[in-house]
């Protein structure tokens, strides 16, 4: 018995006739007009959002561990520089406005729906006074950065004074943090730490004594200071006189001047100045 199978074949698609050139042109122009209209609506919507009173910034929420910055200071210094509403406010410009407030080191600003800004502030913490010829209202923070502030705000804090070329504050702070622990056992407190333009270090103590530490790397300066503090007590006890000055710029020893006495202490005879 033979079975026959019949396949139904779909007719091949008939290509659409090509539209006339004028019709194609009309369609293209209509599409362009539609896109332009959508763009115009979008621009109008953005302009409306940027001016709509319902989206005006109505408050600023401030976070951070703050001691010297208060709401009144922020209102007086940063608020007048904020422009735009929730959608149009320039966050970079807002951040700069808050960072221009005295005692603010860093600010992070973000939008908080629907009409607030959320600001997180990092406050400056003074580590030293910065002494310069042209300005006397600057401080050094714990990161070794120089910043402008009212020096009167730290009058009750026993801060050392740094002086040196511009850009040297971080090096001064680094040496101070390692130098002071060496001097503290001798009841010496650094009142001023100075770095000359030629790279020479000098310390003025709270007793009025002066230490010439000389030039060199931080490790070299610390090594000379360690040698000095190891034997200073013997020298001052022998002459029963307080220290007036010390010159540590020697390879094998140091020279000291005691009040009323002048002498030289050296590890070996013939100590010569360090370069």
Q: Is the domain of 118 the same as that of 163?
A: no
**Beta carbons of 247 and 212 less than 8 angstroms apart:** yes
Compare 53 and 163 and report the one with higher pLDDT. 163
Same domain, 163 and 221: yes
What HEC string does 185-253 produce?
Answer: HHCCCEEEEEECCCCCEEEEECCCCEEEEECCCHHHHHHHHHHHHHHHHHHHHHHCCCEEEEECCECCE
Do 60 and 97 belong to one domain?
yes
DSSP string, the chain: --------PPPPPPPPPPPPHHHHHHHHHHHHHHHHHHHHHHHHHHHHHHH-GGGB--EEEEES--SS--HHHHHHHTGGG--SBTTT--HHHHHHHHHTSTTEEEEEEEEETTTEEEEEEEE--EEEEE--SS---EEEETTS-EEE--GGGGTTS---EEE-STT-HHHHHHHHHHHHHHHGGGT--EEEEEE-TTS-EEEEETTS-EEEEESS-HHHHHHHHHHHHHHHHHHHHHHT--EEEEE--BSSEEEEEETTEEEEEESSSS--B--
CATH number for the domain including 70? 3.10.20.310
Q: Where does the pLDDT of residue 275 fall: very low under 50, low under 70, confident under 90, or very high at 90 and above?
A: very low
Q: In the predicted model, what is the mean pLDDT of the chain?
A: 84
- CA 115, CA 118: separation in Å to the nearest integer? 10
User: Is 5 inside any structural domain?
Assistant: no
**Do residues 96 and 132 both lie within one domain?**
no
Of residues 58 and 118, which shows the higher confidence score?
118
| Residue 110, domain member (yes or no) | yes
pLDDT attached to residue 54: 64
Does 118 share its domain with 175? no
Summarize the confidence of residues 9-15 as an average pLDDT: 64
Q: Which of 9, 5, 104 lies closest to 62, judged by CA?
A: 104
* pLDDT above 70: residue 15: no
Supply the pLDDT for residue 267.
Answer: 43
Residue 273, in any domain of the structure? no
- Is residue 123 very low, low, confident or very high in pLDDT (cuts 50, 70, 90)? very high
Q: State whether 153 and 230 are in the same domain.
A: yes
Q: Predicted confidence band at 16 (pLDDT cuts at 50, 70, 90)?
A: low
Domain contains 9: no
* Together in a domain, 113 and 165: no
Task: Note whether 65 and 130 are same-domain residues.
Answer: no
The confidence band for 14, taking pLDDT boundaries of 50, 70 and 90, is low
Domain match, 206 and 112 both: no
Instruction: Flag whether pLDDT at 268 surpasses 60.
Output: no
**Residue 12 — very low, low, confident or very high, per pLDDT cuts 50/70/90?**
low
CA-closest candidate to residue 60, choices 30, 43, 81: 81
Q: What is the mean pLDDT of residues 202-209?
A: 96
Angle value at C-alpha 167, between 164 and 169, nearest 5 degrees: 60
Give the chain's domain count. Answer: 2
Which pairing describes strands 126-130 and 190-195: parallel, antiparallel, or unpaired? Answer: unpaired
Asked which of 64, 92, 123 is the last residue of a domain, the reply is: 123
Q: Is the pLDDT of residue 104 over 60?
A: yes
> Can you give the residue range of the structural domain that contains 59?
55-123
Contact 179, 225 (CB under 8 A): yes
Q: Is 274 in contact with 251 (CB distance < 8 Å)?
A: yes
Residue with the bigger pLDDT between 264 and 108: it is 108
Residue 177, sorted as left (phi over 0), alpha (psi -120 to 50) or beta, turns out to be: alpha
Same domain, 107 and 155: no
Lowest mean pLDDT among 40-54, 79-93, 108-122, 209-223: 40-54
**Residue 116 shares a structural domain with residue 98:** yes
**Structural domain includes residue 87:** yes
């Amino acid at each position: 018995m033979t079975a026959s199978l019949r396949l139904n074949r779909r007719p091949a698609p008939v290509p659409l006739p090509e539209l006339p050139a004028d019709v194609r042109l009309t369609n293209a122009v209509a599409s362009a007009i539609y896109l332009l209209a959508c763009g115009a609506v979008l621009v109008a919507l953005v302009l409306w959002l940027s001016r709509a009173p319902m989206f005006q910034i109505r408050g600023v929420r401030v976070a951070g561990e703050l001691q010297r910055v208060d709401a009144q200071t922020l209102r007086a210094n940063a608020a007048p520089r904020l422009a735009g509403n929730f959608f149009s406010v320039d966050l970079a410009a807002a951040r700069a406005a808050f960072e221009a407030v005295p005692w603010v080191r860093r600010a992070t600003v973000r939008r908080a729906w629907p009409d607030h800004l959320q600001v997180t502030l990092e406050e400056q913490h003074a580590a030293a006074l910065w002494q310069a010829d042209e300005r006397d209202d600057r401080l050094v923070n714990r990161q070794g950065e120089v910043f402008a502030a009212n020096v009167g705000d730290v009058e009750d804090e026993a801060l050392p004074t740094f002086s040196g070329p511009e850009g040297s504050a971080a090096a001064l702070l680094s040496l101070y943090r390692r130098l002071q622990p060496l001097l503290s056992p001798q009841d010496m407190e650094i009142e001023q730490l100075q770095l000359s333009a030629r790279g020479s270090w000098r310390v003025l103590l709270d007793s009025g004594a002066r230490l010439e530490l000389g030039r060199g790397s931080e490790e070299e300066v610390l090594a000379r200071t360690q040698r000095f503090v190891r034997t200073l007590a013997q020298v001052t006890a022998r002459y029963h006189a307080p220290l007036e000055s010390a010159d540590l710029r020697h390879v094998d020893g140091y020279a000291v001047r005691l009040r009323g006495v002048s002498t030289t202490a050296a590890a070996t005879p013939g100590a010569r100045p360090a370069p």
